[in-house]
Structure 1
Amino acid sequence: MAAHDLDLEAVDFLLNQHAQIRAGLREVASAHGPAKAAAFADLRRLITVHETAEQEVLHPRMRSVLDVTSLLGQEKHGTELLAELDRLDPASSEFDSRFTRLAVEIIAHADHEEIEEFPVVRERLDLDERIRLGHALRLAEAAAPRHPQSAEAPGAVAAIVERVREAVRGAFSHG
């Protein structure tokens, strides 16, 4: 996390993550061999942290002013695709085919959030609340494992989700 991220409100923080995810998608798509597996592990971690943090921090706050049902469905499907990819060899054509599908869906999901959800967040939540939510999102990101062995282990997605949820619960129980 860069020092300037400390002041980012929730929408700007999530937009930065969307840019990182898009870059990660390009990196995985263009990589080969061990570099592809490593790039996918990094991307899987980022997507898992991002989606879990949104589900735990932003969506609950927005349920009263925005129907987040379709976003949650997209996120659930994305998590399922990540889990499928997790079981495949990154050097296989099946991985490439499913990864392309995941990339298309993730980009469409991010576009939907940026067009439909984020403007409503900015309209309905004042800056102080968006900064508090941004802080909780950063705590969630910091809680996720960063070591390659923990990010690549079987069940990594579930482990990341649980650590992010614990961090978010902790952030809101103290505030």
Structure 2
Amino acid sequence: MADTGNPGQFGNRPDTVEQASKGGKASTGSFGDKNAADPRRAGAHSHDNAPGRAQPQSINDALELLLRQHEQIKALFGETLDASEPKDREAKFRQLRRLLAVHETAEEQIIHPRARKEIEDGSTVVDARLSEEHEAKQQLAELESFDIDSPEFEKKLAQLREDVLAHAEHEEQEEFSQLRGELEPRQLQAMRRAVEIAESLAPTRPHPGVESVEANLLAGPFAAMLDRARDAITKPQGA
């Protein structure tokens, strides 16, 4: 959890975006060094984890982190659909929406670009995943137009769950497994830090059309700022 009273902590510094853009292959791994890791390229030579939840130390690399988040997403879908009270369903949906947004941002910035280069038929695999992510973002944005306790919301959410879980399975089988075979453990471990940086700066709501690395880097910080303002204004009472 970020310490807003600590001006030196990542995310609070005025040069956060600049620092996140430095580095690459020669990164020392120390935040603030001139050659510190670039989240767009750190994985090439080398987590909003569930928001507000610390990740177990047993998670060693980027793929393990994202797989854990797939399980958290699956669980949150179930908890949202099973919630009997509108207030509880809204709280769970907000958690789900945020985790989906930051998770997909990290994959689009860090994982997909590396997979496109490294795995067999990488461009075809990644383009299919990006198309699925775009569709899921549209579905998620559409859900916000329905009352949380309406039959339409429940029907749309159930369809989104089916599509998102199918997407996650495609990632795991066609992308993650091949990346693990192509990259060394130290590279995957370095990519975890890049994923964490990307997620810490990510929007907290879906933004259809922002799927490329370039679009994420251009629109992401501004979208994230607006999203956090909206989250603060619309936060349910007692949440």
Q: TM-score, normalised by structure 2?
A: 0.60
Q: Is the 8 A contact 2:109 2:198 kept in 1?
A: no
> Are 2:180 and 1:127 equivalent residues in the alignment?
no
RMSD, matched Cα: 2.4
User: What one-letter code is carried by the residue in structure 1 that aligns with 2:89?
Assistant: K
- Do the aligned partners of residues 59 and 34 (structure 1) sit closer, same or farther apart at CA in structure 2, a change above 3 Å counting? same
2:89 counterpart (36, 46, 69): 36
The Cα of 1:86 is off from its aligned counterpart by 1.7
Paired residues in the alignment total 156
Q: Is the 8 A contact 1:27 1:39 kept in 2?
A: yes
- Percent of paired sites with the same residue: 35
The Cα of 1:163 is off from its aligned counterpart by 3.5
User: What one-letter code is carried by the residue in structure 1 that aligns with 2:195?
Assistant: L
Q: Within 5 A, what are the aligned runs for 1:11-160? A: 11-31=63-83, 32-64=85-117, 65=119, 66=122, 67-144=125-202, 156-158=205-207
- Do the aligned partners of residues 5 and 122 (structure 1) sit closer, same or farther apart at CA in structure 2, a change above 3 Å counting? same
The Cα of 1:56 is off from its aligned counterpart by 0.7
* Unaligned stretches of 5+ residues in structure 1: 146-150, 167-175
CA distance in 2, matches of 1:164, 1:105: 28
Q: Within 5 A, what are the aligned runs for 1:163-174? A: 163=221
Q: Is the 8 A contact 1:144 1:164 kept in 2?
A: no
- SS of structure 2 residue aligned to 1:55: helix
CA distance in 2, matches of 1:3, 1:84: 30
Indicate the structure whose relative CO is greater, using CA pairs within 8 Å and at least 6 residues apart: 1
Deviates more, 1:77-86 or 1:5-14: 5-14
The Cα of 1:142 is off from its aligned counterpart by 2.8
Structure (1 or 2) with the larger CA radius of gyration:
2
Q: Is the 8 A contact 1:13 1:134 kept in 2?
A: yes
> Which of the pair is proportionally richer in helix?
1
- Do the aligned partners of residues 42 and 164 (structure 1) sit closer, same or farther apart at CA in structure 2, a change above 3 Å counting? farther
CA distance in 2, matches of 1:58, 1:29: 29
CA distance in 2, matches of 1:88, 1:106: 19
- Do the aligned partners of residues 7 and 22 (structure 1) sit closer, same or farther apart at CA in structure 2, a change above 3 Å counting? closer
Q: Is the 8 A contact 1:141 1:164 kept in 2?
A: no
Runs of 4+ with deviation above 3 angstroms: 3-7, 163-166
